[in-house]
């Protein structure tokens, strides 16, 4: 497994609604792999191998990340912010950040800043409205020479490998999913004639538009969303209904909208390869692209595979590189062994 692309994904900003730069980068990275590449005005991309195959597996992983956006610039040059997706305001207090200035040609530049706040604030009760973006400017006019309303803000790059084959970074959610799909795409092309339609979806953290449009851009046999799931191996006050540990394999979803045949086939692949698996029981929504895609095109047989993750939606999300390798192997085996005659409708006789 070559981690160069993973690091490149993590170091390229892609706050929801501003995915153009990273999608252009990914298109360039996969141009020698793709048999076909489909784009959409939303910034969705679909990377296809074996496009004429009877079996077409759609893989979805969202390429957008959470962040902040400049909503107002005050007379003293301080910028006020609002959230893009489910950010945790306390995670930004006293932190170095980048303002990302995007252009319509896919280029971007960074403006350095810090997030300041009054010393008497209780971090437990702080809201996004309490955060101040300080660029060092003395006036609104000076600030407007550097930034404008609508520019987005992210934590500075902080990709770091830790002990025991762990990786820490912002935006592992869900760029590790994107990386997994890229690796699966490459390997399936070498090993199988089955088709893979990898959708690097946009807007998952905000509108869900990427997964909604994806099914109209291809007619898959089945679909698997790859996203992150909360690890429970570091205990705090959270109450989780499942037990998940980093390095112990992918999380397979048991849910009312998960296709049971896909789940069975994934279990068979895991057993065949000796890959450990973990489970998450979801009664209704998973708050991922899975919730949308299974309802499209009169219903697409779908499943969600989650990557165990600590400290979700923070600047220091942590995952295991072992789990990434497990999921790549699992998906490649599942796709390569998928027969065109498989029945996802268990009511058929």
Counting residues of the chain whose pLDDT is more than 90, the rounded percentage is 83
Predicted pLDDT at 239: 67
What's the pLDDT at 125?
79
**Is the pLDDT confidence value at 43 over 80?**
yes
pLDDT of 123 over the 70 cut: no
Higher pLDDT, 187 or 121: 187
Phi-psi region of 146 (alpha: psi -120 to 50; beta: other; left: phi over 0): alpha
- Using pLDDT thresholds of 50, 70 and 90, give the confidence band for residue 238: low
Whether 275 has a pLDDT exceeding 90, the answer reads yes
Whether residue 276 has pLDDT greater than 90: yes
* Helix and strand counts by DSSP (H, E) for the chain: 8, 17
> What's the whole-model pTM score?
0.96
303 and 266 in contact (C-beta within 8 Å)? yes
Query: What mean pLDDT do residues 236-259 have?
Result: 87
Average pLDDT, the chain: 94
**204 has catalytic annotation:** yes
Give pLDDT tens digits for 101-116.
998 998 999 999 999 8
Catalytic residue (one of 204, 205, 303, 317): 204
In tens, the pLDDT along 47-82 reads 999 999 999 999 999 999 999 999 999 999 999 999
The answer on pLDDT for 22 being more than 90 is yes
pLDDT in tens, 173-211: 999 999 999 999 999 999 999 999 999 999 999 999 999
Check residue 328 and give its pLDDT: 98
How far apart, in Å, are the Cα atoms of 314 and each of 123, 173, 215, 230, 258? 15, 10, 31, 12, 28
Residue 349: predicted pLDDT = 64
Say if residue 122's pLDDT is above 90. Answer: no
The three-state secondary structure class of 115 is strand
Q: Under a CB-based contact definition with an 8 Å cutoff, are residues 262 and 249 in contact?
A: no
Q: In this structure, what are the phi and psi dihedrals at residue 19, rounded to the nearest 5 degrees?
A: -95, 5
Predicted pLDDT of residue 120: 73
Query: CA 204 → CA 39, 88, 179, 347, distances in Å?
Result: 17, 17, 16, 32
Please report the domains of the chain, with CATH numbers, ordered by start residue: 4-65+170-336 (3.40.630.10), 77-155 (2.40.30.40)
Q: What is the DSSP letter of 340?
A: T
What pLDDT is recorded for position 1? Answer: 76
The pLDDT tens digits for 286-330 are 999 999 999 888 889 999 999 999 999 999 999 999 999 999 999
Closest CA to 273 of 190, 344, 332: 332
């Amino acid at each position: 497994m070559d981690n160069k692309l993973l690091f490149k994904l993590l170091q390229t900003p892609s706050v929801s609604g501003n995915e153009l730069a990273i999608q252009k980068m990914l298109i360039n990275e996969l141009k020698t792999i793709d048999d076909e590449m489909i784009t959409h005005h939303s910034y969705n991309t679909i990377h296809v191998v074996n496009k004429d195959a009877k079996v077409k597996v759609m893989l979805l992983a969202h390429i957008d990340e959470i962040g902040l956006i400049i909503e107002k610039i005050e007379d003293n040059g301080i910028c006020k912010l609002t959230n893009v997706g489910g950010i945790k305001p306390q995670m930004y207090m006293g932190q170095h950040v980048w303002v990302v200035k995007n252009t319509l040609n896919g280029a971007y530049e960074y403006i350095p800043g810090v997030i300041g706040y009054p010393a008497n604030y209780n971090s437990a009760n702080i809201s996004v409205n309490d955060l101040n973006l300080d660029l060092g400017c003395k006036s609104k006019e000076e600030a407007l020479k550097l930034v404008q309303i609508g520019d987005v803000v992210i934590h500075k790059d902080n990709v770091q490998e830790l002990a025991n084959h762990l990786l820490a970074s912002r935006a592992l959610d869900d760029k590790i999913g994107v990386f997994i799909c890229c690796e699966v795409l490459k390997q399936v092309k070498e090993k199988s004639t089955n088709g893979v339609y990898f959708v690097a979806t946009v807007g998952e953290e905000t509108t869900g538009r990427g997964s909604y449009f994806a099914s109209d851009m291809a007619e898959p046999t089945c679909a698997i969303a790859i996203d992150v799931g909360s690890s429970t191996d570091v205990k705090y006050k959270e109450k989780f209904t499942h037990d998940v540990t980093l390095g112990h394999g992918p999380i397979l979803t048991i849910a009312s909208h998960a296709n049971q045949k896909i789940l069975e086939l994934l279990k068979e692949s895991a057993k065949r390869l000796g890959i450990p698996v973990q489970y998450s029981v979801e009664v209704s929504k998973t708050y991922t692209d899975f919730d949308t895609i299974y309802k499209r095109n009169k219903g697409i047989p779908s499943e969600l595979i989650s990557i165990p993750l600590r400290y979700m939606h923070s600047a220091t999300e942590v995952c295991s590189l072992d789990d990434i390798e497990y999921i790549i192997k699992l998906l490649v085996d599942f796709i390569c062994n998928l027969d065109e005659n498989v029945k996802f409708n268990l009511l058929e006789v």
